[in-house]
Amino acid sequence: MANYYVLLGPPGAGKGTQAKLISEKIGVAHISTGDLLRENVKNRTVLGLEAQGYMNSGRLVPDDLIISMVRERIALPDCSKGALMDGFPRTVAQAEAFDKMLQDAFNAKIACVPCIEVPAVLLIERLSGRTMCPNGHVFHQVFNPPAAEGVCDECGAALYQRDDDKVETVTKRIEVYENQTAPLIAYYDQAGILARVDGTQQIDSVTAQIFSALGIDGA
Ligand code: ADP
Ligand code: ADP
């Protein structure tokens, strides 16, 4: 059976870290709009060139660009088995468009929305020590260091620090989350599919909480 999930939570909450672990384990596609956008920026596509300025300043890329990017991604064959969304939706307009997309493409609804909750002080600490590889594997200099410095454990690619993880941009992104994305907590709560997760715990404990929210045996 195909299941569609959304991981909600502020920047630095651990969405990417958890999405990689969980999507591999349950065999659904991992869709990170941040990773898709960074790929477009790297390849200097029309979308990438348009998105870059918004990303560098910590603002959201306009809804219409994001919605059409996700519509194309969700049409690929791997999504027919289900998908775990990471960093999307981020506005009520995106959430409404996503509900409609799932309905039209798969006659499906979102099964569950785990919301990873982490206070702002911890987010800043996490984002300022984050390194990642071009394939979206995420590390932290202190909390989740790679075995060999600067090298991805998963794929051997070189790790880098994101331009938008500097402190001024991080503060802006947390503010944007509060204003534009946090309203989705009430949106999904009203739909009866929100599950709050304590994101201050260790990575494996957060994974266990998410599995329990999804009603999946994570062992
Ligand atoms: P998001 O995708 O929500 O922005 P990430 O998964 O990229 O978050 O995680 C942000 C940073 O915090 C990364 O450096 C990651 O290694 C680290 N991290 C993720 N989960 C935890 C955790 N439970 N405890 C400590 N650090 C974490
Ligand atoms: P994080 O989880 O650390 O906030 P992401 O990798 O999800 O970062 O996103 C990085 C940037 O890409 C965001 O600050 C924003 O500019 C853009 N972005 C990603 N997803 C979306 C989205 N769904 N809507 C609008 N902008 C997005």
Please list the pLDDT of the chain residue by residue as tens digits (219 residues).
Answer: 789 999 999 999 999 999 999 999 999 999 999 999 999 999 999 999 999 999 999 999 999 999 999 999 999 999 999 999 999 999 999 999 999 999 999 999 999 999 999 999 999 999 999 999 998 899 999 999 999 999 999 999 999 999 899 888 999 999 999 999 999 999 999 999 999 999 999 999 999 999 999 988 766
- For residue 219, how far is its CA from the centre of ligand 2 (angstroms)? 31
Give the residue among 213, 9, 23, 8 at the shortest CA–CA distance from 122: 9
Contacts with 88 (C-beta within 8 Å, 6 or more apart), sequence order: 6, 31, 33, 66, 70, 94, 98
Ligand nearest to the CA of 16: 1
Which residues' Cβ are closer than 6 Å to ligand 2? 11-12, 15, 33-34, 37, 54-55, 58-61, 66, 87-88, 90, 94, 164, 173
Choose one of 90, 139, 166 to mutate for the ligand 2 pocket test, by most ligand atoms within 8 angstroms of C-beta: 90
CA distance 17 to 169: 21
Give Rg (Cα) of the chain. Answer: 16
Residue 68 lies in domain: 3-119+175-214
Query: String of b and e for 65-89 (b: at least 16 CB within 10 Å)?
Result: bbbebbeebbeeeebeebbbbbbbb
Nearest CA to ligand 2 atom 10: 34
- What atom of ligand 2 comes closest to residue 87's alpha carbon? 7
Q: Where in the sequence numbering do the catalytic residues fall?
A: 15, 90, 130, 162, 173
- For residue 88, how far is its CA from the centre of ligand 1 (angstroms)? 17
Residue-level pLDDT at 178: 97
Residue-level pLDDT at 168: 86
Residue-level pLDDT at 136: 86
Does residue 130 fall inside a structural domain?
Answer: no
- What atom of ligand 1 comes closest to residue 205's alpha carbon? 23
> Residue with structure tokens 């709560």?
189
- For residue 60, how far is its CA from the centre of ligand 2 (angstroms)? 6
Nearest CA to ligand 2 atom 6: 34
Decide: 143 in ligand 1 pocket, CB within 6 A.
yes
Assigned token pair, 77: 């064959």
CA distance 64 to 82: 23
Contact 13, 117 (CB under 8 A): yes
Decide: 9 in ligand 1 pocket, CB within 6 A.
yes
Task: Give the angle subtended at the CA of 137 by the CAs of 195 and 13, to the nearest 5°.
Answer: 35
Residue-level pLDDT at 218: 66
CA distance 46 to 13: 30
Does residue 15 fall inside a structural domain?
Answer: yes
Q: Taking the complete model, does pTM exceed 0.85, yes or no?
A: yes
Does residue 142 fall inside a structural domain?
Answer: no
Does residue 190 fall inside a structural domain?
Answer: yes
Give yes or no for a cis peptide into 89 (omega within 30° of 0).
Answer: yes
Helix (H) or strand (E) holding 213: helix 203-214
Does residue 72 fall inside a structural domain?
Answer: yes
> Residue with structure tokens 């299941």?
3
Does residue 161 fall inside a structural domain?
Answer: no
- What atom of ligand 1 comes closest to residue 18's alpha carbon? 6
Does residue 125 fall inside a structural domain?
Answer: no
Residue-level pLDDT at 219: 60
Q: What is the CATH number of the domain that holds 31?
A: 3.40.50.300
CA distances from 51 to 22, 46, 74 (A): 28, 9, 20
> Residue with structure tokens 């064959």?
77
**What are the φ/ψ torsions at residue 137 (nearest 5 degrees)?**
-80, 135
Residue-level pLDDT at 152: 96
CA distance 71 to 13: 25
Indicate the number of domains in the chain.
1
Does residue 145 fall inside a structural domain?
Answer: no
Residue-level pLDDT at 1: 72
Q: Which residue type is seen at 206?
A: V
